[in-house]
């Protein structure tokens, strides 16, 4: 009887979720920066990286949840030519430098989806390397810089859940010196064997 006598105003007109959605919409126009970044992400970046930064094509990196500072630096490297990549070199020209910060902010705020380990045995080899390094050849434990969970930070990128193909490609680029945006990583990659690279790529995909 009491419940009927005092119906909530919310329950009588709209469900909670609809009210929350309306509230969110009413806030959005004030956040011009954020919506610009989303628009750029959807129209320019999404084809390869996905609108939410979880690319489905393993040739292109997942960038969701990567550190904002790291993403911003990479955008600047691509723009200046310090980091080379045929696809990015062309596409970066369509993005204004003034939008780099909000774009980095947008993708770092996206939720990263987990990757998939295809070969558990190989991943186990990778795990040992990732956590202990190779004392014979002077490979440091990756966990030292990229953190045990592969979450990374402003200097060292997130590796967790990354596509095997992409991780392997970048390790190869560091090894050959094609990518030299971080001298430490060049030194590390030059000490890694091809088999070790494959094992590491397999392991971090499952982090």
Rounded least distance, CB 131 to another protein, Å: 10
**Beta carbons of 53 and 61 less than 8 angstroms apart:** no
User: Which alpha helices (DSSP H) does 81-193 contain, by range?
Assistant: 86-91, 100-108, 120-132, 143-146, 164-176, 183-191
Q: Which residues in the 75-104 window bind another protein by CB under 8 A?
A: none
Residue holding tokens 């469900």?
A: 15
CA distance 206 to 124: 11
Q: Which residues in the 187-206 window bind another protein by CB under 8 A?
A: 187
Q: Does 141 bind another protein (CB under 8 A)?
A: yes
Long-range pairs of 142-147 with CB within 8 A, sequence gap ≥ 24: 142/200, 142/204, 145/184
DSSP SS3 for 131 = helix
**Beta carbons of 129 and 139 less than 8 angstroms apart:** yes
Q: Does 126 bind another protein (CB under 8 A)?
A: no
Q: Does 154 bind another protein (CB under 8 A)?
A: no
Q: Does 133 bind another protein (CB under 8 A)?
A: yes
Residue number, 36 or 182, with CB nearest to another protein:
182
Interface with another protein (CB under 8 A), residue from 58, 69, 140, 172: 140
The stretch near another protein (CB under 8 A) out of 32-40, 46-54, 58-66, 140-148 is 140-148
Interface with another protein (CB under 8 A), residue from 142, 171, 199, 201: 142
Rounded least distance, CB 182 to another protein, Å: 10
**55: number of Cβ within 10 Å:** 22
CA distance 28 to 156: 32
State both tokens at 169: 């490609």
The stretch near another protein (CB under 8 A) out of 77-85, 139-147, 160-168, 196-204 is 139-147
Interface with another protein (CB under 8 A), residue from 14, 43, 118, 144: 144
Residue number, 114 or 144, with CB nearest to another protein:
144
Q: Which residues bind another protein (CB under 8 A)?
A: 133, 135, 138, 140-145, 183-184, 187
């Amino acid at each position: 009887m009491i419940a009927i006598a005092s119906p909530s105003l919310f329950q009588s007109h709209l469900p909670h979720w609809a009210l929350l959605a309306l509230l969110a919409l009413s806030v959005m126009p004030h956040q011009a920066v954020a919506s610009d970044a989303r628009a750029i992400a959807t129209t320019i970046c999404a084809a390869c990286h996905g609108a939410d930064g979880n690319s489905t094509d393993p040739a292109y990196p997942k960038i969701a949840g990567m550190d904002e500072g790291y993403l911003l630096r990479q955008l600047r490297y691509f723009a200046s030519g310090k980091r080379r990549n045929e696809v990015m070199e062309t596409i970066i020209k369509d993005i204004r430098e003034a939008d780099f910060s909000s774009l980095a902010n947008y993708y770092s705020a996206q939720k990263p989806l987990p990757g998939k380990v295809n070969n558990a045995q190989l991943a186990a080899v990778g795990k040992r390397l990732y956590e202990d390094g190779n004392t014979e050849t002077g490979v440091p434990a990756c966990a030292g810089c990229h953190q045990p969970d592969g979450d990374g930070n402003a200097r060292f990128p997130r590796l967790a859940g990354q596509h095997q193909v992409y991780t392997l490609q970048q390790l190869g680029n560091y090894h050959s010196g094609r990518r030299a945006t971080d001298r430490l990583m060049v030194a590390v990659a030059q000490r890694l064997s091809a088999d070790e690279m494959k094992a590491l790529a397999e392991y971090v995909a499952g982090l």
